[in-house]
């Protein structure tokens, strides 16, 4: 499905994508909603705002991994923050 979404104000765009991120499908394990996916999206948005991602691509780098881990430690319950929800940075 191809849709063109045009925004003429930052606030309208922000509200639209905030709503979309808040409605991302998330897994549930033992009744707990896993927040890894929206946390990764927020970490990427933070990277865009911090000018970490300058090209039209996102890479898992030290900055993104650190930001993701910080956000996960803040928003995730202790049982969610483990090796299964972490991202890793491979050195090339």
Distance between CA 91 and CA 75 in Å, rounded? 27
What tens digit of pLDDT does each residue of 32-76 get? 888 888 888 889 989 988 999 888 888 889 999 999 999 988 888
Rounded to an integer, what distance in angstroms lies between the CA atom of residue 44 and that of residue 40? 6
User: Does pTM surpass 0.85?
Assistant: no
47, 74 Cβ separation under 8 angstroms: no
CA nearest 61: which of 92, 91, 89? 89
Q: What is the pLDDT of residue 91?
A: 47
| Contact criterion met (CB below 8 Å) for 21 and 41 | yes
Q: Residue 92 pLDDT > 80, yes or no?
A: no
């Amino acid at each position: 499905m191809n849709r063109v979404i045009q925004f003429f104000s930052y606030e309208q765009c922000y509200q639209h994508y905030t709503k979309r991120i808040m409605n991302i499908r998330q897994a549930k394990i033992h009744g707990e909603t896993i927040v890894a996916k929206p946390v990764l999206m927020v970490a990427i948005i933070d990277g865009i705002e911090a000018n970490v991602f300058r090209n039209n691509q996102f890479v898992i780098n030290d900055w993104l991994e650190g930001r993701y881990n910080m956000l996960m430690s803040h928003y995730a319950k202790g049982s969610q923050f483990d090796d299964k929800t972490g991202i890793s940075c491979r050195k090339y």
